[in-house]
């Protein structure tokens, strides 16, 4: 493999959902023996660029022994399509924005909804990871649960992609 496989998780502001998913996916990939895969996160907006993660998001992932203290929010840029292999949008609004931003059909094809990797979410037709920012701490727990349910599918997809490159 010439370059590591890279996953980018994208939400609106890059302070809640996507940083949570970033550390959760990185942890799951490491546990699965795929520590060579790079995981990052970004937002479709520049509203929070340079900010740290929402403390409520940090509290939720800390219970799983994950850490968001070093997170710095950034905006997803068109040139990111050239170096990222899988882009996981947290909701349909971010999915549309990312696909519209893509410089090519190939770039747009890299974008998928994170919950599309959760068989129960696919079966139920609910593929959104709702933004918990304006909610209460329980909404952050729901976000954690939705991301957690997609992790096995993401790991298996990435495992197959990495093996295909070998």
Write down the catalytic residue from 11, 16, 54, 56. Answer: 11
Per the structure block, which two tokens stand in for 165?
């490159």
Write down the catalytic residue from 54, 80, 91, 131. Answer: 131
Write down the catalytic residue from 16, 17, 54, 115. Answer: 17
Active site residue 16: no
Q: Look at phi and psi of residue 121 and say left if phi exceeds 0, alpha if psi is from -120 to 50, else beta.
A: alpha
The residue among 33, 14, 31 whose CA lies nearest residue 162 is 33
Q: Look at phi and psi of residue 39 and say left if phi exceeds 0, alpha if psi is from -120 to 50, else beta.
A: beta
**Using CA atoms, how far apart are residues 143 and 148, in angstroms rounded to an integer?**
8
Residues assigned a catalytic role? 11, 17, 131
């Amino acid at each position: 493999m010439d370059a590591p496989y890279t996953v980018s998780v994208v939400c609106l502001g890059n302070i809640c959902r996507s940083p949570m998913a970033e550390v959760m996916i990185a942890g799951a990939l490491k546990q699965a023996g795929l520590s060579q895969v790079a995981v990052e996160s970004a937002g479709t907006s520049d509203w929070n660029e340079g900010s740290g993660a929402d403390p409520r998001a940090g509290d939720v992932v800390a219970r799983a022994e994950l850490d968001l203290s070093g997170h710095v929010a950034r905006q997803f840029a068109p040139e990111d399509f050239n170096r990222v292999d899988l882009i996981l949008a947290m909701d349909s609004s971010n999915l549309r924005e990312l696909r519209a931003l893509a410089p090519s059909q190939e770039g747009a094809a890299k974008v998928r909804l994170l919950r599309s990797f959760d068989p129960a979410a696919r079966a139920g037709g609910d593929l959104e990871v709702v933004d918990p920012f304006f909610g209460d701490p329980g909404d952050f727990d729901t976000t954690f649960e939705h991301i957690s349910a997609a992790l096995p599918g993401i790991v298996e997809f990435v495992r197959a992609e990495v093996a295909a490159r070998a």
